[in-house]
Amino acid sequence: MDLLQRREGWQSGLTRRTRNAVGEQSPQRFESSTLRNTDERVNNKKMNLYWITQNIIFILAGLVLVCLAALAVFYVKLHKKIKMILGGLDSDDATFSQDIARRLTQMEIKLEALEPRVDLLDNSARVSVQKVGFKRYNPFQDTGGDNSFMISLLDKENNGMIISSLYTRENSRVYAKEITNGAPKHHLSEEEENLLEETKKK
């Protein structure tokens, strides 16, 4: 009986030692395996990020080179066109630049000389006739045909006159009525008012 109890106690102690040994080593092995897997994933992510960054850099560098090439071609074509227009295709860049500066100076001098003339023409245009209206009509019932007429002459500021010619069998009469800023200084007939409004809209 004692021998059996000793044997069971020895087996129980061996089982506990084995379990303790396994329990002590298993977390360490698991932790080591987990760390290795984590390191591998981190390294894979770093490699993927590195290749993505390299690809982006190559693409951007290619786009920059294409843009520079397009700008160079555009500059060369524009330079040739300017030389052809100014008649300096065979001259060098220094002479070409001097020629452009000289022509620009001449143009500025001519523009300064033209400014007084332009102002004079502008002032003359303001008081010149710019709006014209015309209408034939028959104000009387006893005459046949539209032998009477009206004509309106206005400048840019709607200043001018309305000329009316009234035709009858006995005689013809002509009236002139002044218009200032689009308003008549004398009484207008219905036909004259309509003509004036149409002329001001032109």
pTM above 0.75, yes or no: no
Q: Is residue 58 part of a domain?
A: no
* 110, 135: one domain: no
Q: Are 138 and 156 in contact (CB under 8 A)?
A: no
Phi, psi for residue 132 in degrees, rounded to 5: -130, 130
Of 124, 150, 174, which residue constitutes the final position of a domain? 124
Please give the residue range of the domain that contains residue 107. 85-124
Q: How far is CA 3 from CA 6, 10, 11, 14, 15, in A?
A: 5, 10, 12, 16, 18
pLDDT given at position 15: 53
Average pLDDT over residues 20-45: 58
Q: Is residue 137 part of a domain?
A: yes
- % of the chain at pLDDT higher than 70: 72
Tens of pLDDT, residues 91-101: 566 676 777 78
Tens of pLDDT, residues 161-196: 999 998 887 888 899 999 999 899 888 988 899 999
